Amino acid sequence: MLEYELKRIANNLKRVRCKKHFKFETIYKNTGITEERLRKIETRKASVTYKELYALSRFYEVAIDDLVFKDLK
């Protein structure tokens, strides 16, 4: 993925999490993604895998296309 795509995905994941007031513990229980890993993804210190993106999109109830291609402000 290109840098601007990673930035958009990271920003969208953080926005959705904050908007829906999800706690990291709840996300971990439903997706298996740890708080440390999600923080790294949201700050672009790590790239999100397709498996993680799929799990988060299902849990957040947001289409993968929206997370990847839209600016969810």
Domains of the chain by start residue, with CATH: 3-68 (1.10.260.40)
- For residue 57, the surrounding DSSP H or E stretch is helix 50-60
Residues composing the chain: 73
Residue 60 — very low, low, confident or very high, per pLDDT cuts 50/70/90? very high
Average pLDDT over residues 44-73: 97
Residue 2 — very low, low, confident or very high, per pLDDT cuts 50/70/90? confident
Distance (Å) of CA 53 to CA 26, 48? 16, 6
| pLDDT value of position 24 | 97
| pLDDT value of position 68 | 95
Average pLDDT over residues 21-35: 98
| pLDDT value of position 10 | 97
Distance (Å) of CA 5 to CA 9, 10, 46, 68, 73? 6, 9, 13, 7, 15
| pLDDT value of position 18 | 98
